[in-house]
């Protein structure tokens, strides 16, 4: 990505270690019991 904003909260309420965070997010999605759907929008801070 050419333009991005550095994550200022990294390491405060979640880990700042990329692989640890990636694993936690992937595990959360695996535990979620939802049907796969096409995404129309993502609302994030």
Identify whether 15 is part of a domain.
yes
19 pLDDT above the threshold of 90: yes
CA distance 28 to 19: 14
The radius of gyration computed from the CA coordinates of the chain, to the nearest angstrom, equals 14
Please compute, for residue 12, the number of CA atoms within 13 A of its CA located in the half-sphere on the CB side.
4
d(CA 40, CA 35): 15
Instruction: Give 21's pLDDT tier (boundaries 50, 70, 90).
Output: very high
Q: Is the pTM of this model over 0.75?
A: no
Please identify which residue in the block is written with the tokens 């990329």: 18
Domain of 10, in residue numbers: 1-37
Closest CA to 45 of 17, 19, 1, 13: 13
Domain count, the chain: 1
For the stretch 25-43, pLDDT in tens is: 999 989 988 888 898 888 8
């Amino acid at each position: 990505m050419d333009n991005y904003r550095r994550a200022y909260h990294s390491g405060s309420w979640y880990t700042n270690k990329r692989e640890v965070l990636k694993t936690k997010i992937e595990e959360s999605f695996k535990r979620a019991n939802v049907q796969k759907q096409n995404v129309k929008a993502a609302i994030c801070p």
